[in-house]
Amino acid sequence: MTTHDQLSAQTSGRPSFAVHIPDAELEPEPLDPEQIVSGDPVVTGKVLWESADGTQVRGIWQITPGVVTDTEANELFVVVSGRATVAVEGGETLEIGPGDACVLREGDRTTWTVHETLRKAYHISL
C-alpha cells in the first residue's frame, strides 16, 4: 500500500490515526493570483480530518518560495520543514521554521515571505 493509499484509508472516518507528515502526498490547491506579491509559489495540501459541521479542519499544507498575502482563520500550526517570515499587518513579524508553533487570529492580514519550501501541520477553527 502506498503512502497515498494509507493516508486515504486513514482519513476515511477512522477516529484515530497517525500520518508521517514529511512523506505525506499532497494535492494541488489553487492560489488566487491576486495573492501573489512576487515569485511563482505553488501551494499543496491535504485535509486529514474535518468536523461534521465543517467548523474544524486539520491537515497538512505546503508552499514553495515566494511572497503571498492572506487573510487568516483562527489557526494553530507547527512547521515541519522550511522557513518563512510572516508579517502580520499592525502586529508582529514572525520568523518561523522547523519545530515552531504559530497561532494566527481570524481576520489577521498577513504577508508570507517563504524562504524555503514550508510544510506545516495545522488546525483551523472556522
Domain ranges in the chain?
A: 28-125
Strand ranges, E, within the chain? 27-29, 36-39, 43-50, 56-63, 66-71, 74-88, 93-96, 101-104, 109-125
- CATH architecture, range 28-125: Sandwich (2.60)
Q: What is the mean pLDDT of each run of 10 residues along the chain (126 residues)?
A: 45 79 98 98 98 97 99 99 99 98 98 99 98
**Alpha-carbon gap, residue 46 to 29, rounded angstroms:** 9
Query: How much is the pTM?
Result: 0.88
According to DSSP, residue 22 is labeled G
Name the helix (H) or strand (E) containing 3.
Answer: helix 3-10
- Tell me the pLDDT tens digit for each residue of 15-27: 799 999 999 999 9
pLDDT digits (tens, 9 = 90+) for 57-77: 999 999 999 999 999 999 999
- Per DSSP bridges, beta strands 101-104 and 56-63 are unpaired
